[in-house]
Amino acid sequence: MTLLQVDPDTAMALKGSYSALLLSLVLMGAWLALASGQQQTSTNDQFLRRHWDNPKTQATSNTAYCRLLTRCRGISRRNNTFIHDSITAINSICTGNRDGPVTSRRTFKITVCKFNPNTGTATGTPLVHRIVVICKKKLPVRFVTSVRPKIWA
């Protein structure tokens, strides 16, 4: 047998190793693709966990509402805005827009919770405003601010 010749058993073993290596690479590529998509979804999930409350949770007052929701979500002692609309409506802000800040075309019912460090409480103000969010891959990932709707004369 010369150096370039390989017996049939060795040739079959090499083919099997090649197939296993190829399968491993394909599976790793699929896993990486899913993991990168999962990162985007989890960023949108974090946004929704922090800002979405629909239907609005009932409380005795807007101050009690802010205290309840910020504590339940682990964001007490911080300012936060809660959006009272469907996930579809919120996510649609980013449809057709590129990544970056986007102002909603329509208004949303929101509750703005402002924390006062002197008193240790948060006051809640219900509003109907347009909202500005940061979009990434056609999904909102961060709340920026709310904007009073323009009144046309």
Domains and CATH numbers, the chain: 52-146 (3.10.130.10)
DSSP state of 97: -
For 136, phi then psi, to 5°, come to -145, 120
Per-residue pLDDT at 2? 55
52-62 burial: b if 16+ Cβ within 10 Å, else e: bbbebeeeeeb
The band of 1, judged by pLDDT with boundaries at 50, 70 and 90, is: low
Read off the pLDDT of each residue in 24-28 and give the average, rounded to a whole number: 47
- In which band, very low, low, confident or very high, does the pLDDT at 10 lie, cut at 50, 70 and 90? low
Instruction: Look at residues 148, 151, 62 and name the one whose alpha carbon lies nearest to residue 112.
Output: 62
pLDDT tens, position by position, 84-100: 999 999 999 998 878 99
> What tens digit of pLDDT does each residue of 103-130 get?
999 999 999 999 998 988 889 999 999 9
